[in-house]
Amino acid sequence: MRSDLDIAVHPDAAPEGDVVARLRAELSHRVDTTDASLEAARADKSGHRSIGRPLALVHAASVEDVQRTMRIATATRTPVVTRGAGTGLAGAAMGGPGEIVLSMRSMDAILEVRPDDLLAVVEPGIINADLNAALAEYDLWWAPDPASRAISTVGGNIATGAGGLLCAKYGVVRDAVLGLDVVLADGRLLRLGHRTVKGVTGLDLTSLMIGSEGTLGIVVGATLKLRRLVPGDVCTVAATFRDVRSAAQASAAVTASGVQPAIMELMDATTLASAHSYLGIQPPTPGAAQLIVQTDGPAAAAEAEAIGVVLSANGGNVTVTRDRDEGERLLTIRRSMHPAMEALGKTTLIEDVSVPRSALATMFDEIARIEREYDVTIPTIAHAGDGNLHPNFAFDGEEVPDHVWAAADALFRAALALGGTLTGEHGIGTLKRRWLADELGDDQWALQRDIARVFDPLGILNPGKVFAP
């Protein structure tokens, strides 16, 4: 799919051949200009693709490799797009003509684990699930749990401010990072944050970097806040409802009850049917929506029982299991949503709005209204525990049709009108930059853009993303 990103060449940029030659002289075999690699670097999981191939893909293996790349980029005025596993859904890591793509995937080491301090120091290229598999031997884990945990990197999670299934109880990436090592656009290395539980010296540049999508600097190391593995049982509650509004109202009732589930996921009728078909299991009742709720810890069984009572009182057909394997099977249905959409053979625009949890049912009403008004189907799942929805716009062809963009525009504005936000965890990238000022307001948009220019005065870090006019 062609992106609407305009590639702007810096007026003082060096000839492209000179840039690649300088990279090869400094980084040798780390510089990749093969057709397959450059073509792959044009796209991420958003379905979008830049208008052409980048100059080169640099496979950084060390902090020094990143610094060398950025010094060359600054000297030659060459834009740089930082990339992890390429699993982003907002078009933030796509490399285009005249750009260097800097891959952090090879920097995947765990540098330090301190069980006594509940922290780990890691490189950005490590896969989220691989990190937690390694931490398990210490009876520790890193809480952020995106649905893409098996394929997404910790650095990518940090760049987008990722969330996930467990964040209603255990927090998002911003809650789980103590410090960052960052290379600036000119090659300087900053060590931000701290290793202590408390730390308020100066401005919180660590939090500023989280979710900045490669526009402020390049994360080359992260000091992560860990948790002890949760003791006790894991219980899973599955409840089907006659329609998605009923399921959304029931999820709000669980929140209002005061019981805190670890996971509470909602699938509307279309996504539920698609996932069942993809997995080859018995189809659900037509029109039915489903909530999958999981509790953990010493009180898991009592909490699951209480949640089951709330869901039954709100029209749910409820089952409860203490079998972890059965619970994972139920969650597999939820995690299969995106592969199921891909299996339809259509292009999918995967969106990511959040609303206050009390407004979740109203947001589903708005989605239904937009479906009728624009004659589109918008399969939607939601992290119901925190009000984060993922509406999907499926269509034929590579270009997003005008009526789909119009429907997306209506959906974004509906979320904002309910006190919500454009993105809960995917980021802005290229897909949502045109709506950013609508949420921030002109003054805050300009201030944030000015802050980015302090970090990157030449505008060479991920240009055209997030703050582009």
Instruction: Answer yes or no: is pLDDT of 4 > 90.
Output: no
As for how many domains the chain has, the answer is 2
Q: For residues 164 and 293, state if they share a domain.
A: no
The region, left, alpha or beta by phi > 0 then psi within -120 to 50, assigned to residue 466 is: left
Do 248 and 152 sit in the same domain of this protein?
A: no
pLDDT digits (tens, 9 = 90+) for 15-25: 777 999 999 99
- pLDDT tens for each residue of 129-183: 999 999 999 999 999 988 888 999 999 999 999 988 898 899 999 999 999 999 9
Instruction: Write out the residue range of the structural domain in which residue 140 sits.
Output: 110-228
3-state secondary structure of 63: helix
Residues 265 and 170 in one domain: no
CATH at 389:
3.40.462.10
Residue 59 belongs to a domain: no
Query: Same domain for 244 and 159?
Result: no
166 lies in a domain? yes
Do residues 266 and 375 share a domain?
A: yes
Helices 360-374 and 244-257 cross at an angle (nearest 10°) of 160
In a domain, 105, yes or no: no
Mean pLDDT within 274-300: 93
Tokens of 117: 């301090």
Q: Which of 242, 332, 249 is nearest to 284 (CA)?
A: 242
Say yes or no: 183 and 247 in one domain. Answer: no
Residue 279 domain-assigned (yes or no): yes
CATH number, domain containing residue 145: 3.30.465.10
Query: 10: pLDDT confidence band, cut at 50, 70 and 90?
Result: low
Q: Is residue 257 part of a domain?
A: yes
**Domain ends where: 173, 199, 228?**
228
Q: Which contiguous run of DSSP H or E holds residue 330?
A: helix 324-335
For the ranges 13-27, 372-386, 415-429, the lowest mean pLDDT is seen at: 13-27
Residues 256 and 402 in one domain: yes
Predicted confidence band of residue 3 (pLDDT cuts 50, 70, 90)? very low
Mind listing the pLDDT tens digit for each residue in 193-247? 999 999 999 999 999 999 999 999 999 999 999 999 999 899 999 999 999 999 9
Residues 154 and 303 in one domain: no
Domain co-membership, 338 together with 394: yes
The answer to whether residue 46 sits within a structural domain is no
| Whether 306 and 377 share a structural domain | yes
Comparing 261 with 11, the larger pLDDT belongs to 261
Quick one: what percent of the chain has pLDDT higher than 70?
A: 97
Q: Which of 228, 249, 275 is the last residue of a domain?
A: 228
Instruction: Give CA–CA dist 183/218, Å, rounded.
Output: 5
25 in any annotated domain: no
| Interval 51-59 mean pLDDT | 97
Q: Does 165 fall in a domain?
A: yes
pLDDT tens-digit series, residues 63-101:
999 999 999 999 999 999 999 999 998 999 999 999 999
Regarding whether 396 and 377 lie in a shared domain, the answer is: yes
> What pLDDT, on the 0 to 100 scale, is given for residue 14?
73
Specify whether 314 is located in the same domain as 171. no
- Backbone angle region of 345, left / alpha / beta, with phi > 0 → left and psi within -120 to 50 → alpha: left
- pTM for the full predicted model: 0.91
